[in-house]
Structure 1
């Protein structure tokens, strides 16, 4: 497995769980997190694999969201919440998130924001 710089390297069991051996050396740093440590470790591992496998930002973001949804599936209720992911080098964001479901990290030169928010019913016209 390639070396991971920054923070604690994800455990060997996580790499086997993902079924993917990192091909390149990567740096990561957790900038802000309101997640339990186990959720953080999963987010970091998934992001490292995404950056290792893909070059296009949309593909990296899609992979992270898709894999995190698989790891922590919801019940399908609209009021439960869903995960969202933004990946880029330069952007601004303002998001609302569920308590204990937000992380902002840097992987190599990319910033990654992953959060869960509730989908609230929308009534056209504000009625």
Structure 2
């Protein structure tokens, strides 16, 4: 569980840094106003707010996220979120190890945001 929570925190730090230092990321999030969360079925997770060109994050869940990524358990989440194979996300959905709820258009937007998670990625 600790590794999962740490990974969610790292995601927050990478997004914050990219929003500040990477002009392409700043442009990508410009004008966005949404809250999303990543969690396990048991309810452990973190939520992220994208607003006013900034990314903020808090531990725990929020009541009305724009969308939620819910993983079967922390280990499954770690495997999917850290996979080098881009198909891992889709396989997780097919296997019901990952359930997505909420605004699917914003989920697609989020998938574009993930390219800024790699350190040093432009």
TM-score normalised according to structure 2 size? 0.30
TM-score normalised according to structure 1 size? 0.29
